[in-house]
Amino acid sequence: MTKQRSNNKAKSKVSVGWISWVWLFKFATVLMVVGVVALVYLDAQIRHRFEGYRWSLPAKVYSRPLELFKGQQLATGQLDYELTQLGYRWVEHAKAPGQVQKTNKGIAIYSRGFRFADGDEQGFLVEVSLQKNTITDLRQPSGASKALLRLEPQLVGGIYPAHNEDRELIQLNDLPNGFIETLLAVEDRNYYTHYGISPWGIVRAMWANIQAGSVVQGGSTLTQQLVKNFYLTDRQTIWRKLIEAPMALLLNIHYSKDEVLEVYLNEVFVGQAGKRAIHGFGLASRFYFGQPLSELKLHQVALLVGLVKGPSYYNPQRHPKRATKRRNLVLSILAQQGLISDAQKMQYQGLPLDLTEASQVSRYPAYMDVVRQQLQQNYQPSALSSHGLRIFTSLDPWVQHQADTAMAEQVKKLNQRHGKIDGLQGAIVVSHRDSGELLALVGDYNGGYAGHNWALDRSRQVGSLLKPVVHLAALETGRFSPVTIIDDGPVSLPQPDGTLWQPQNYDRKSHGKVPMYEALAKSYNQANVRLGMQVGVDKVLQQLRRMGVEQPIPAYPSVLLGAVEMSPLQVNQVYQTIAGNGFYSPLSLVRQVTEANGLLLSHFPFAVRQAASNDATYLLQHEMRMVANYGTARGVYQYLPKQQQVAAKTGTTNDQRDSWFAGFSGQHVATVWLGREDAKPTPLTGAGGALHVWGQLMQHLAYTTYEDIKPQSVEHYYLNITTGKTMPNNCPNGVWLPIPKTSAPSFNTTCGY
């Protein structure tokens, strides 16, 4: 034992120095290992995140592009409006994309070019000659005349992921002149020479701050700022402080300065729009100026760069004074550093902020709602919110603008005329007559909508709007024509429960024997019920189904007077079929979907299905033109020029709970509904309410001729308007109406009055 112990002792005595050296070595090794492991870990992390990182790019939703071609009819003010919405700037001489100029003949536009689903449209400079809102020529500077050009579409919304980050990716070569210089002058002067961190930068920033008496510069390099934004949470923790510098160093080692900068430009947070977080300078430029980044002038660049320090504090929309001060400070820094002259500084400081006039909150909530619904049938939510898909829709910004305006202004007037109508709501649907594309949707009378989309979500009784369907079913049988005489005497029909149904006319009078067109024009209930009963309620419902109304509807006679609940969208679908010569085409709003790089994923081919014969539909269209020229809808001519032909129908439900108006012009089909949220009675009839909204809307849409294509099977006759009998052309108060050749009326030699 002792021997052993002493032996040990002796041994340990000998190796004291050696052991402490071992321990030191071990300790150092462990430290090194920990350090190296940490570095390896951080390194892997950085490379993984930097290269593998994919920004979730929300799907971008675009409006239809404005097509420019000879003969194109525009509405008054439309071109100016659309150019403003697209962020075009009016200048003396248009010489760069995004500029427009008034000329003697019209407008010179320097467009930006755009990648459409069907290929690239190059930017162009073209003079658009206009005569009374019609394009008469498109001429390029070379003198060449172009047949067709299109402007870029408007970005009308996005489909955002849960975290609501929105951005528009840019590359270094998208930057306008002076951008990098300005950014670096303010945020990181030695960016291109430091190693990711810059102790000297911190000292200089402190000195600058002391000189200025406030914090004008931050000490972090752009690389550090990116590390903070990109990899770390916002919380100020010691761990974060500890790894920020090594991560910045590593980032600097692995990637070129330009690569890091490019990521920074896309990552930086520059504002908040409601729930939507604006990231990157690309989107910031759209958001604040309505222009692509490449078009910005130095005073705008200075504002964007200045925003980095505090996007909400310097929010130029909310705090224009602060923002101006900050921008001018940035410009001063540029002058201090000799990047611009003092004269330039003064010049730029004197400029306004130049923010976009177009509102940046979603202007199309109802429309976007339907786009989202349609896309969700075809795409997974994650694909929509993160893959940067491009959605091309048929939304027409001008029509939408006019629909919103008509609703707001007319509802205001109605409230003035009738005293405030509590909870008055409204909806508008507008589609293109022959393609069935949805051009505009108003889902709420305020335009801004919270929850309910009255154009889609709510079905209300349609009242007399159903009468054209009764007439179509009648005309389809071949046994009726617009001049068939119908008895408008009192109607009494037994109901399943044994009681009698005795609908009355609106004026509570009977009008004797009337021609069919008169029954529609004056919306006589008794005559229309009698007509419907002769055709058969089931036949009418079959006709309605063929026009796209698929919900089960019990075949009661009350259906004939519109005891059927439909949404404004469904009503528009039915009227679309009438406007489309009897061909049903499903209302659509997504034209194409492409990937972020332009690869076409899907498109929605135009399809039609015959739902009624062209002959019968043609006769009905003319009956409905009579409704507008002479019947219950004639009030629309307060708004429209007499020569503009429209076909329409009013609708009023029991106790005036719903005020409807639906119809079409040469190019547009539109449906308007007004009513109370709680479905209580209103002071409004179809003609007293919805008609005015419809009239104002149509008044401001491009005027297009109503092209009337007469089928061979019918002939137009000059008729006595009240009797529906033919009469000589020189008789007063006559009307030209089509009648099937098979039921040609005998010719009368007297006027019959």
Partner 1 sequence: MYNNQITSCKFVSLISLVIFLGACAAPGYGPIVEDLSVQARVSERMSVLPNNVSTKAPTNTTVVSPPPAPVVTAKPKPYVAPKAVVTITAQPISNQVITQLATQEDTPVAVQEASLPASDQAVVEQLLTEADQLKAQGKVTQAVIQLQRAQRIAPREPKVYARLAALQLSLGEASRAEQLALKGLTLVPNKKSYQYYFWKLIGASRSNLGDSQGEAEAIRQAAKYK
Contact between 31 and partner 1 (CB under 8 A)? no
- Of 400, 394, 380, 364, nearest to 590 by C-alpha is 394
Select from 119, 451, 496, 732 the one that contacts partner 1 (CB under 8 A). 119
Distance CA 403, CA 672 (A): 10
Binding part of the chain for partner 1, among 39-47, 456-464, 466-474, 549-557 by CB under 8 A, reads 39-47
Contact between 104 and partner 1 (CB under 8 A)? no
C-beta of 617 vs 632, nearer to partner 1:
617
Select from 6, 177, 382, 502 the one that contacts partner 1 (CB under 8 A). 382
The two three-digit tokens of residue 620, written as one number: 């009905």
CB of 475 to partner 1, least distance (A): 15
CB of 334 to partner 1, least distance (A): 25
- Chain Cα centroid distance, residue 453: 15
Contact between 369 and partner 1 (CB under 8 A)? no
Distance CA 600, CA 116 (A): 10
Select from 78, 129, 182, 266 the one that contacts partner 1 (CB under 8 A). 266
Q: What are phi and psi of 342, to 5 degrees?
A: -60, -35
CB of 44 to partner 1, least distance (A): 7
Binding part of the chain for partner 1, among 54-62, 351-359, 651-659, 737-745 by CB under 8 A, reads 54-62
Select from 6, 8, 21, 22 the one that contacts partner 1 (CB under 8 A). 22
The contact pattern for partner 1, residues 652-691, with x = CB under 8 A and - = no contact, is ---------------x------------------------
Give, as ranges, the residues between 711 and 730 that touch partner 1 (CB under 8 A).
711-712
The two three-digit tokens of residue 426, written as one number: 């409204």
Q: Bridge partners of 565?
A: 461
Question: 663 near 633, Cβ under 8 Å?
Answer: yes
- Please indicate whether residue 357 is annotated as part of the active site: no
The contact pattern for partner 1, residues 167-206, with x = CB under 8 A and - = no contact, is -xxxx-xx--------------------------------
C-beta of 116 vs 449, nearer to partner 1:
116
Say which residues have a Cβ less than 8 Å from residue 178's Cβ, sequence separation at least 6: 298, 301, 339
Contact between 294 and partner 1 (CB under 8 A)? yes
Q: Bridge partners of 737?
A: 717
Binding part of the chain for partner 1, among 27-35, 79-87, 331-339, 364-372 by CB under 8 A, reads 27-35
Contact between 383 and partner 1 (CB under 8 A)? yes
Instruction: Count residues binding partner 1 (CB under 8 A).
Output: 99
User: How many angstroms separate the Cα of 218 from the Cα of each of 207, 324, 453, 587, 615?
Assistant: 11, 20, 47, 55, 77
Contact between 55 and partner 1 (CB under 8 A)? yes
Tell me the Cα Rg of the chain.
Answer: 35
Contact between 118 and partner 1 (CB under 8 A)? yes
Give, as ranges, the residues between 57 and 96 that touch partner 1 (CB under 8 A).
57, 67, 69-71
Binding part of the chain for partner 1, among 253-261, 345-353, 361-369, 519-527 by CB under 8 A, reads 253-261
Q: Residue holding tokens 């990937």?
A: 595
Residues in the chain: 753
Angle between helices 257-267 and 238-254 (to 10 degrees): 130
Question: 224 near 190, Cβ under 8 Å?
Answer: no
The two three-digit tokens of residue 643, written as one number: 């020569």
User: How many angstroms separate the Cα of 291 from the Cα of each of 85, 99, 358, 743?
Assistant: 10, 11, 11, 63
Question: 88 near 107, Cβ under 8 Å?
Answer: no
Distance CA 191, CA 194 (A): 6
Binding part of the chain for partner 1, among 316-324, 335-343, 380-388, 457-465 by CB under 8 A, reads 380-388
Give, as ranges, the residues between 337 and 356 that touch partner 1 (CB under 8 A).
none
Distance CA 217, CA 211 (A): 11
Beta strand 390-393 with 59-62: parallel, antiparallel or unpaired?
Answer: parallel
Contact between 709 and partner 1 (CB under 8 A)? yes
Contact between 161 and partner 1 (CB under 8 A)? no
Distance CA 179, CA 420 (A): 54
Give, as ranges, the residues between 559 and 618 that touch partner 1 (CB under 8 A).
580-583, 591-610, 614
Exactly one of 165, 187, 437, 623 is catalytic; name it. Answer: 187
CB of 57 to partner 1, least distance (A): 5
- Please indicate whether residue 677 is annotated as part of the active site: no
Exactly one of 285, 464, 523, 665 is catalytic; name it. Answer: 464
Select from 114, 501, 637, 718 the one that contacts partner 1 (CB under 8 A). 114
CB of 364 to partner 1, least distance (A): 20
Distance CA 713, CA 639 (A): 34
* CA quadruple 729, 735, 741, 742: dihedral sign: negative
CB of 444 to partner 1, least distance (A): 28
The helix or strand, by DSSP H or E, that contains position 172, with its residue range, turns out to be none
Contact between 360 and partner 1 (CB under 8 A)? no
Distance CA 592, CA 594 (A): 7
The two three-digit tokens of residue 289, written as one number: 């100026």
Select from 31, 36, 212, 215 the one that contacts partner 1 (CB under 8 A). 36
CB of 410 to partner 1, least distance (A): 28
CB of 172 to partner 1, least distance (A): 9
The residues carrying an active-site annotation are: 187, 464
